Structures are given as C-alpha cells and as structure tokens.
Amino acid sequence: MDADIAIHDAYVFTVDDSNRLYERGTVLIEDGRITEVRASRDDDADITADRIIDGEGKLVMPGLVNAHTHLELTPLIGAFSDLDLMEMMSGMTAIFGHIAEGEYGYLTEAGYELAALNFLAGGVTTVNSMDVRPSSGAETFGEAGLRGFFGMALSDLFWDVPVDEQFERARGFIDEYHDTYDGRIRATINPHDDWSCTREMWERTADLATEYPDMLVHTHLLELGASNTMARSNGAADSLDLLDDVGLLDDRLVAAHFRLADDEDIQRTADADASVAHCPSIFCYWNTDGDVQWTPVPELREAGVDVGLGIDDHYWHDSYNLFGEARQARLAANLKRSTGQYDSMELVRMLTIEGAEALGVGDEIGSIESGKRADVILLDVEKPKFTPLTNIPAHVANNAAPSDVETVIVDGDVLMEDGEIETMDADDVRERAESAVDRFASETDWEVGIGGSEPPSNIDVARDLPKRGPAQLLGRLAFQSVKDKYLF
C-alpha cells in the first residue's frame, strides 16, 4: 500500500476507545489522514512511501492538546516567577491594559513565535488560546503548521477599551482567521471570565455567538470566589445560572479552571454537554486561597464532562511542559484529597483525546485511528529514564518531558524530525524574543536580567493600571458582598 508517511516497528500508543498499545506497530499516513494502524510486518521497512520513519525505540502517540492557554507575554517568562501575588497581578494587568490599547505589538508578536517554537518542539500540536490581540498568534501558528483555536478576550471590567471597539475587533478577527490554514486555525468567542464581565457584556457575547454558531465559547469559569458574587451582582443566582440565562450554557462552552464547582454545577455542566479545561500548575504556583477546594475533575469526568489539560500562562510558572500538567494534576489532587484520584491512562487521555473532545474536535484528532487527521508525535524511549519500558501510560503521565519528543507531524506534514524543526528558524525566533524583551525593558521601568526581575514601583504600577473598568469591578463586588451579608 502506498503512503505519504510510513512509521514502522514503533511502540504505538493509540489512545483510542480501547487504549490499544502495540509493542511493534506501523502507522500509515496519506493526504493528511491516518490510513492504517496495525502490528508491524517484517517487510514494513520496504513500504512504498514518500517518507519512511524507522520507529525502533520510538513511542508513537497522539499530539498533545493544550486546552487552555495565553501566549502573548511569552517573552516575559521568568519575569513574574518570584513576585508576590499582588505584584504579579497588578504588573500583569498593567501590561495587558497597554496591549489592549494597541501597544507592545513587538512583544506579543515575539511571544507568539516563541510559544509556537517551544510547544512544537515539546509535542503540543494544538492550542486553545485566549489573548488580547490574537491575529499574530493565528498567523504564527498557522505558518508553523500547528493547529490552534484563537480568540480575543472580551471584558468591560478588566480594562478600559470601549465595548463597541472590542466587539468590532472580535468580528474582524473572526472574519479574517476562522477556518484558515487548511482548517487548522479556528476562531473562538472569548468572554474573559465570570468576575470581570457585566450582564450586558454577557448578553452581547451571546448575540455574537448566535451570529457564528459553529464557534466555541471559551471563558474562565468558577475560578475565584468573586465568580458567583459577580453573577449575583449581574442578577443571577450564580455563574452557571447567568450563562444559562443568556444562552451560553451549552455544548459550545469551554470553561477553564472550574475550581469552585459543586455537585449541582457538575451536573448542570454535564447536562449541557459543556467542557472543562483543567490547569493544575497555575494554581499550585499562584494559589490565592489554600482552603479552597481543588478542581473536582474526577467527579466531572464521572458525570461525563470532557476535561482537557491546559498549561495556562506558562510564563507565570516558567514551564512549557504540557506533559508535566498530567503529573501535576495527579500530585495536587492526591495531596489535596487523597491518593488514587487518577490512573495513568486517564491522565494520558486528558492530554490527548479528551482535550480534543473538550474542543469539539475529538472526531478529527486526539487518537491514532484510521480516518483521523494525522497529528502524531514520536518520543525517544531508548533512554535510561525509560528503562525498563514497563507501563507506558505511567511513563507518559509521570516521566515524559518535551525534550523526549523527536518528531512532530500535524495534518500529515512533518514539522520536526529527529529534533530538527522544519517550519521555523529557532535562532531567528530566539533573537527576536531577546530583542523584544530588551526593548520592553528600555521603554518601561521593568528590570529583566539573568539574576531575576524587578517590576516598577507600586506607585508607578498603580498609575499605569486601567482605571474605569477595575474601579467598577471592585465597587460591584464590594456592594454585592455587603448585600449578601445583610440580605437586603
């Protein structure tokens, strides 16, 4: 049988419905799709194919799906790491306020390139990113050959950009980038969260979603204690009630975090066929309240909710390692609750097929099956760290790292082989990122160097923060908190 790509004599981890695992398997790819997955035959090295990959000592598995992330500030990796929570939040909010006003384009463009380079090299073939000005992201990931969902964050209580302008830009982005780059790049609708949007913003978002019925609605939901408080300020019983009121609690919803969900929230989410993106590292690093429950992922999955893993703001916790989110999910849940919250296969599925299903593309990607798009990665498992190669699911969930990825195929195109990236110039990307940070430091009072980072003074940051939106946000939360306390 002829093929464009033939991978033979590899360990093949399909992550299909049966979680089939071949000790010596062959995968054939033609016209961007997987055409055959089977046990290897002795003559498979002689298959007629444009590209033959000897899989001996390699593990073939689906590409990783980063179900929730933000990419624009990637060059500032290391800058936030050792700040306290308020320094980090205020500094980040001030920077995003400038980006919303159209500044720092050089920084965000370099950020998308650096993120694409590192995620590609680490086996992340699909991202779902919420950003302020995502056009460069769509173009960068599209040209790199990667798959991505991109959308513009919408909020009327986080920054001071007029709402009409935000929706005009969002429509422009959708019309230009949705379903481009051979369908690999798709637009999404992104109300930022349930604590920085008024009811009017949610209603306008619902109207936008009605205009574009084939798009995901991607938001942060039940992330903070302020979530349900703001929902009550918006005239709803809680956050899910608000989304239900405006018509957004349905199978298009991808809700990041979901930390504060109770049993009723879980059941309502399952009934709506909505999805959740779990991002453990960000809250292990920047936990705002140690007494808050941990995200009830086992209960969500048991209820039938699709849950993917996301790395969120990787530049807040200095890691592009999506494999590491599987390990972190297990450790944090076991520590917060009790041991045995997950088995390894569940975590691998959350990295791949369940992440794809959460984004509504589980019928296209996320597993190695005949007929699916060929998003495939190969890991070198002939290393001491993988010896002996027993319990491959556990190795992937606990031990694998981006540096183990040797070859990356997306949509049937080889983007990296034997560690050499074919669609991006790594040296150029690194040079542009370094220049962008130098320029950012020279234009602001941020000090970013090899020994650490020093943000501007608190007074300078406060002067730089958006004023109208955040002031209204804090005022509404304070008033509602008093109202809740005294029940008037």
For the chain, the domains span 3-62+373-421, 64-358
In this prediction, residue 252 carries a pLDDT of 98
Indicate if the pLDDT at residue 90 is higher than 90: no
Q: In what order do the strands lie in the sheet with 275-278?
A: 217-221, 253-257, 275-278, 307-309
Q: Could you give the count of Cα atoms lying within 13 Å of 139 in the half-sphere of its Cβ?
A: 10
- Bridge partner residues of 152 (DSSP): 131
Is residue 27 a contact partner of residue 63, using CB atoms and an 8 Å limit?
no
Q: Which residue in 222, 213, 278, 279 sits closest to 252, CA to CA? A: 213
Number of neighbouring beta carbons within 10 Å of residue 291: 5
Going 283 to 284 to 285 to 286, the CA torsion angle's sign is positive
In this prediction, residue 478 carries a pLDDT of 63
Tell me how far apart the alpha carbons of residues 106 and 76 are, in angstroms, rounded to a whole number. 13
Q: Look up the pTM and report it.
A: 0.95
Is residue 362 a contact partner of residue 353, using CB atoms and an 8 Å limit?
yes
Is residue 416 a contact partner of residue 404, using CB atoms and an 8 Å limit?
no
Q: Out of 261-265, 290-294, 321-325, 385-389, which region has the weakest mean confidence (pLDDT)?
A: 290-294
Identify which has the larger pLDDT, 288 or 112: 112
For the chain, report the end-to-end CA distance as a whole number of angstroms.
74
- Fold match flag (3-62+373-421 vs 64-358): no
Overall average pLDDT of the 354-382 stretch: 98
Is residue 382 a contact partner of residue 12, using CB atoms and an 8 Å limit?
no
Confidence at 88, pLDDT banded by 50, 70, 90: confident
Element (H, E) at 67: strand 64-69
In this prediction, residue 456 carries a pLDDT of 80
Tell me how far apart the alpha carbons of residues 224 and 260 are, in angstroms, rounded to a whole number. 7
pLDDT (tens digit, 9 = 90+) per residue, 273-284?
Answer: 999 999 999 999
Look up the CATH superfamily of 3-62+373-421: Urease, subunit C, domain 1 (2.30.40.10)
Q: State percent of the chain over pLDDT 70.
A: 94
Tell me how far apart the alpha carbons of residues 424 and 417 are, in angstroms, rounded to a whole number. 13
Q: Which residue in 250, 255, 265, 330 sits closest to 303, CA to CA? A: 265
pLDDT (tens digit, 9 = 90+) per residue, 418-446?
Answer: 999 999 999 999 999 999 999 999 998 88
Q: Would you state the structure tokens that stand for residue 72, as one six-digit string?
A: 């624009």
Q: Would you state the structure tokens that stand for residue 259, as one six-digit string?
A: 């930390």
In this prediction, residue 28 carries a pLDDT of 98
In this prediction, residue 452 carries a pLDDT of 87
Identify which has the larger pLDDT, 457 or 182: 182
In this prediction, residue 226 carries a pLDDT of 85
Tell me how far apart the alpha carbons of residues 68 and 359 are, in angstroms, rounded to a whole number. 10
Confidence at 468, pLDDT banded by 50, 70, 90: low
Overall average pLDDT of the 88-93 stretch: 84
Could you list the beta-strand ranges (E) of 192-241: 217-221
Q: Would you state the structure tokens that stand for residue 379, as one six-digit string?
A: 């890991």
Q: Would you state the structure tokens that stand for residue 365, as one six-digit string?
A: 């990607």
Indicate if the pLDDT at residue 482 is higher than 70: no
CATH architecture of the domain with residue range 64-358? Alpha-Beta Barrel (3.20)
Q: Out of 48-57, 193-202, 463-472, which region has the weakest mean confidence (pLDDT)?
A: 463-472
Tell me how far apart the alpha carbons of residues 45 and 39 are, in angstroms, rounded to a whole number. 13
Going 87 to 90 to 96 to 97, the CA torsion angle's sign is negative
Tell me how far apart the alpha carbons of residues 278 and 296 are, in angstroms, rounded to a whole number. 10
Overall average pLDDT of the 190-217 stretch: 96
Tell me how far apart the alpha carbons of residues 174 and 130 are, in angstroms, rounded to a whole number. 13
Indicate if the pLDDT at residue 414 is higher than 70: yes
- Bridge partner residues of 7 (DSSP): 27, 53
- Dihedral Cα 395, 401, 405, 408, nearest 10 deg: 100
Q: Could you give the count of Cα atoms lying within 13 Å of 76 in the half-sphere of its Cβ?
A: 29
Residue with tokens 């498992």: 381
In this prediction, residue 120 carries a pLDDT of 98
Indicate if the pLDDT at residue 462 is higher than 60: no
Q: Would you state the structure tokens that stand for residue 137, as one six-digit string?
A: 């992201």
Is residue 453 a contact partner of residue 80, using CB atoms and an 8 Å limit?
yes
Residue with tokens 């031990």: 399
Indicate if the pLDDT at residue 370 is higher than 90: yes
pLDDT (tens digit, 9 = 90+) per residue, 229-266?
Answer: 888 989 999 999 999 999 999 999 999 999 999 999 99
Tell me how far apart the alpha carbons of residues 61 and 125 are, in angstroms, rounded to a whole number. 12
In this prediction, residue 378 carries a pLDDT of 98
Tell me how far apart the alpha carbons of residues 414 and 367 are, in angstroms, rounded to a whole number. 17
pLDDT (tens digit, 9 = 90+) per residue, 387-411?
Answer: 999 999 999 999 999 999 999 999 9
In this prediction, residue 155 carries a pLDDT of 94
Is residue 302 a contact partner of residue 61, using CB atoms and an 8 Å limit?
no
